[in-house]
Amino acid sequence: MMNTEHILLISSLLLLASLLAAHRAFRYGIPTLLLFLAVGMLAGSEGIGGIYFDNPVLAQFIGVVSLNFILFSGGLDTKWKSIKPVMWPGLMLSSAGVLITALSLGLFIHWITDFSILESFLLGSIVSSTDAAAVFSILRGRNLRLRGNMRPLLELESGSNDPMAYVLTISFLSLIVNQDQPVGHQVLLFFQQMAVGALAGYLSGRYGRKLINRLQLGFEGLYPVLTVTVMLLVFSVTTIAGGNGFLAIYITAVILANSELVHKNTIIKVFDGLAWIMQITLFLTLGLLVFPSHIVPVLGIGILIALFQIVVSRPLGVFMSLLPFRMSFREIGFTSWVGLRGAVPIVFATYPLIAGIDKSDMIFNIVFAISVVSVILQGTTIPVAARIFGISEQGRDAVPVVISGLVDDDTKTLHQEWVLPENSPAKNKKLVSLNFPDKALVAMIHRDGQYLIPGGNTELLAGDRLVVLASDAGSMEEAYKILFG
């Protein structure tokens, strides 16, 4: 029996090993999340670590909590200005695209295996959505420059399509467990989940913003804690009310991201760190849960299903979804390729395990194999695919535009000092009301011979000398326009 110190020691060593692996993986273009999974497997009962873990209920709990943070962080990093042009294509991909992928893949699984049609559709549903953690990690970690609106489209789809896959998974699982249940009941349940989830997300975003802005907590560090509380409340209350909690928290986060919010930059940075912790924890847990010896017998069928999904099911879903929007073949092709499966399908695969249906172990192991194949094959080749489809803008913007001196050559932070004039549109306004770009901030104010570190409620006065930091030239230019008109 391990005590607290042993658990903390093992946990910290696993985290350290994951971070060291991620550092090396980034240099060689290997998806970091795959390394986290490998560390968990090596530490598991059949690995060198020998840690026995066979608790799908606990793994599912960790997975659901982790997905809350990952989806919420992705929503906080979603700008309405960038997703507005791609909102309808993104919603079609995350709804109709997921449905078409699930059904077409299910038919293929039924054809090549002895799975019943409902079991086949269940397996197809589990792996039907792209993984937000994998997509966010690769697109943002590799700093890919993509033409047009490809990046916001892919991030919007990956952040919003998990609810559809979840509802399909629960629906087909319910039909298997309760085979006398009418199909119409599941259809109504689907619309209820999506409608209640969307409404709850919208209301929570609006009133959550008011709560965060009006509650005077006194300490800047408490505002991310308040936001975490809002997130968990939204998910739990929405789920209890019969709605889709994943959809609700994503919509809530998007609304907060595009609102005037006290200590907004701090909240976003804290959630970015929490999302990484949750991604590592999630993949480590799933790596511990799997038994590699159980994967080997189903590896062949898993690879076959993964290849069919990559070559047929995913492109079919993307093509049918984007057909009304006159997107080019190159855009459709690249969107099809960035259909990574990762931790989310593995988490969803724990639901059949807990329900105890026939073939639940086989379904879990096949899903694990599909996810690994997808991350290896698609995750490592996204930059190459971007160049093949002519979507990459690498080579453009290769030379950074610098407005003024660099504060730090490593972080490439831009620095400016401006004196606020009498005719400034920002005069006598609070910082929170200025809608500053997320990648810029007023770091310090020199006023009446004193230096002030401003917060969201700090009011700007004429004559203030502002120290402004930004991570790129565009954000600095946008900050200038806000302060000087």
> Cα–Cα distance between 154 and 65 in angstroms, integer?
23
pLDDT at 319: 94
pLDDT, mean of residues 417-436: 86
Residue type for position 89: P
Give residue 412's pLDDT band: very low, low, confident or very high (50, 70, 90).
Answer: very low
In which band, very low, low, confident or very high, does the pLDDT at 173 lie, cut at 50, 70 and 90? very high
| Nearest in space to 212 (alpha carbons), one of 266, 250, 251 | 266
pLDDT at 398 over 50: no
Q: What is the mean pLDDT of residues 137-157?
A: 73
**CA dist list (Å): 20 to 35, 74, 380, 408, 415:** 10, 24, 19, 24, 32
| C-alpha 174 chain-centroid distance | 27
Q: Is the pTM of this model over 0.85?
A: no
Q: Left, alpha or beta for 98 (phi > 0: left; psi -120 to 50: alpha)?
A: alpha
Position 136 scores a pLDDT of: 66
Q: Give the pLDDT band (50/70/90) at residue 352.
A: very high
Which of 421, 483, 479 has its CA nearest to residue 265? 479
Mean pLDDT of 169-192: 83
pLDDT band for position 400 (50/70/90)? very low
Rg (CA), the chain: 24
- Whole-number average pLDDT of the chain: 84
Q: Report CA-CA distances (Å) from 212 to 74, 251, 396.
A: 19, 16, 40
pLDDT at 326 over 70: yes
Q: 154 or 26: which carries more pLDDT confidence?
A: 154
Q: What pLDDT score does 396 carry?
A: 39
Alpha helices in 48-182 (DSSP H): 56-76, 80-83, 87-92, 98-112, 117-126, 132-141, 150-160, 162-177
Q: What angle do CA 88, 91, 93 make, to 5 degrees?
A: 110
Question: What was the pLDDT predicted at 346?
Answer: 87
Which element (helix H / strand E) includes 446?
strand 440-447
| pLDDT tens sequence across 265-324 | 889 889 988 988 888 888 888 888 888 888 899 999 999 999 999 999 999 999 999 999
The pLDDT tens digits of the residues spanning 74-108 come to 888 888 877 888 889 999 999 999 999 999 999 99
CA–CA separation, 340 and 333 (whole Å): 14
Query: How is the beta sheet containing 465-470 ordered, strand by strand?
Result: 414-419, 465-470, 440-447, 450-452
255 pLDDT higher than 70: yes
Does residue 401 carry a pLDDT above 50?
no
Which pair of structure tokens corresponds to residue 418? 């401006």
Q: Read off the pLDDT band of 403 (50, 70, 90).
A: very low
End-to-end CA distance of the chain: 65
On whether the CB atoms of residues 344 and 129 are closer than 8 A, the answer is yes
450 φ, ψ (degrees, to nearest 5) = -120, 150
Q: Is the pLDDT of residue 117 over 90?
A: yes
Reported confidence tier of residue 200, pLDDT bands at 50, 70, 90: very high
